[in-house]
Amino acid sequence: KRIAFLVSGRGSNFQAVLDAVAAGDIPGICVGLVTDNPEAYAIERAKNAGVPVMVVDYAGFPTKAAYEEALLVAMRGCRADLFVLAGYMRILGTGIVREFSGRMMNIHPALLPAFSGLHAQRQAIEYGVKVAGCTVHLVDEGMDTGPIVVQRCVPVLPDDDETRLADRILAEEHKALPLAVKLFCENRLEVDGRRVWVR
Ligand code: GRF
């Protein structure tokens, strides 16, 4: 399968998938990185791996609609079977979500449906939960609401701050996202309403 990525920043989850593909764990090829941020470190990672980069600089457009039009053109250009949102920090418009319905996934650093949106790890600490984690889900028109593909959990420890918890969750993200991409590429995901079965 052809796998493309939409990333806004550091790209460590993108790297985890690149590594799993390079290791032969995922039957796919990484065909493009699309980013809204010309400073994203993910760009270096893509270049190192020989993955084409398309920068659609959010700041370069007068309106969100104009930005999304350009983003959609870049995304279509990848001719991807799967689009992976790995730290894409904006909400996608319904046009894009509909076009890639069933073949776009997102990684979120919380056990959804708890703590959607920004600063999920801080929300978890402030709420006082004892277990936290990450979720890979298909993207629907809501924010962090689509059918869940993979979740992994970690303990919240007494002296945790946001950074320590985020680091512990991130280590699990780097397992969860390659697994979800692998299952997709192996045609092993079966979506049944809200529920995703692994065959
Ligand atoms: C991750 O915690 C991801 O769950 C969240 O943004 C962060 C991105 O990290 N959506 P990275 O860019 O993959 O290193």
| 37 C-beta closer than 6 A to ligand 1 | no
Q: What's residue 17's pLDDT?
A: 98
Mean pLDDT value across the chain = 98
Cα(139) to ligand 1 centroid in Å equals 16
In whole angstroms, what is the distance from residue 49 CA to residue 34 CA? Answer: 14
Specify whether the backbone of 24 is left (phi greater than 0), alpha (psi in -120 to 50) or beta: left
Terminal-to-terminal C-alpha distance of the chain: 18
Q: What's residue 98's pLDDT?
A: 97
In whole angstroms, what is the distance from residue 6 CA to residue 86 CA? Answer: 6
- Residue 195 falls inside a structural domain: no
Cis peptide before 155 (omega within 30 of 0): no
Specify whether the backbone of 108 is left (phi greater than 0), alpha (psi in -120 to 50) or beta: beta
- Residue 197 falls inside a structural domain: no
| 18 C-beta closer than 6 A to ligand 1 | no
- Residue 73 falls inside a structural domain: yes
pLDDT (tens digit, 9 = 90+) per residue, 115-165?
999 999 999 999 999 999 999 999 999 999 999 999 999 999 999 999 999
Question: What's the token pair of residue 47?
Answer: 């270049």
Give how many domains the chain has, as a whole number.
1
- Residue 17 falls inside a structural domain: yes
Question: What's the token pair of residue 108?
Answer: 């979120």
- Residue 84 falls inside a structural domain: yes
- Residue 196 falls inside a structural domain: no
In 3D space, the residue among 143, 156, 199, 153 whose CA is nearest the CA of residue 175 turns out to be 153
Question: What's the token pair of residue 118?
Answer: 């920004």
Domain that residue 79 falls in: 2-190
Q: What is the CATH number of the domain that holds 24?
A: 3.40.50.170
Cα(129) to ligand 1 centroid in Å equals 21
- Residue 52 falls inside a structural domain: yes
In whole angstroms, what is the distance from residue 15 CA to residue 19 CA? Answer: 6
Cα(64) to ligand 1 centroid in Å equals 22
Question: What's the token pair of residue 93?
Answer: 């418009």
In 3D space, the residue among 124, 27, 150 whose CA is nearest the CA of residue 81 turns out to be 27
- Residue 198 falls inside a structural domain: no
pLDDT (tens digit, 9 = 90+) per residue, 46-89?
999 999 999 999 999 999 999 999 999 999 999 999 999 999 99
What residue has token string 């550091």? Answer: 10
